[in-house]
């Protein structure tokens, strides 16, 4: 799942993708209507990677919950956030049975399902396969073809550096330009 640069802004519906930074704000693009606008430091901005859901045991990261929803719906869209609040709560209970029902409000539950559908609609819900340490070690031992090609190209492009031209020598065919007369007169 690739949600780096995806943020939520308090008081604004939906999610936003960080596009650029300006002097005193961040330029964001709405994932709902693709409109761009500046988000200032005075607004409460949260990255999705930093958000957690309250449970009775310990908090669950939103990214983990989104992966669980992805697995439950087999990679498809989930229930609409516009569904009945009781139905949304029941669905969240099936996915995360020990969520804290007193501290997770119905508006929070709606956001979870809306955000999942926005991320899924943007094509960012591709779950990356986790590689084991053995696979990483085997890949590190293999020599990379790209590295060899780069070394060959560097050796081929080495050329002797030519001496810099003498700046004090004047070109033979250049005439001195005559002074330009302007319409501005100087006072005596």
Mean model confidence pLDDT for the chain: 78
Q: What is the mean pLDDT of residues 115-139?
A: 69
DSSP 93-158: HHHSTTB-TTTS-HHHHHHHHHHHHHHHHTT---PPPPPPHHHHHHHHHSPPHHHHHHHHHHHHT-
**What fold does the segment set 6-121 form as a domain?**
Arc Repressor Mutant, subunit A (1.10.10)
Q: Which residue has the higher pLDDT, 27 or 173?
A: 27
- The closest alpha carbon to 85, from 115, 105, 55, 62, belongs to 105
Q: What is the DSSP letter of 48?
A: G
Q: Give the per-residue pLDDT at 148.
A: 47
pLDDT band, residue 157 (cuts 50/70/90) = very low
Domain regions of the chain by residue span:
6-121
Q: Give the per-residue pLDDT at 182.
A: 53
With beta carbons less than 8 A apart as the criterion, state whether 112 and 63 touch: no
Q: What is the mean pLDDT of residues 61-87?
A: 91
pLDDT band, residue 166 (cuts 50/70/90) = low
């Amino acid at each position: 799942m690739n949600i780096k640069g995806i943020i939520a802004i308090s008081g604004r519906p939906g999610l936003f993708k960080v596009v650029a930074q300006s002097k005193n704000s961040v330029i964001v693009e709405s994932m709902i209507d693709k409109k761009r606008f500046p988000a200032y430091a005075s607004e409460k901005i949260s990255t999705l990677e930093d958000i957690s859901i309250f449970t009775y045991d310990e908090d669950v990261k939103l990214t983990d919950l989104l992966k669980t929803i992805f697995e439950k719906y087999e990679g498809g869209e989930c229930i609409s956030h516009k569904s009945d609040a009781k139905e949304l709560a029941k669905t969240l209970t099936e996915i995360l049975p020990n969520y804290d029902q007193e501290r997770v409000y119905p508006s929070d539950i709606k956001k979870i399902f809306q955000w999942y559908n926005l991320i899924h609609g943007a094509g960012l819900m591709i779950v990356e396969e986790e590689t084991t340490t053995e696979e990483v070690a085997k890949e590190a031992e293999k020599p990379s073809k790209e590295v060899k090609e780069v070394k060959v190209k560097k050796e081929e492009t080495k050329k002797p550096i030519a001496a810099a031209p003498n700046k004090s020598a004047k070109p033979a065919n250049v005439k001195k330009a005559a002074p330009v007369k302007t319409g501005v007169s100087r006072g005596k």
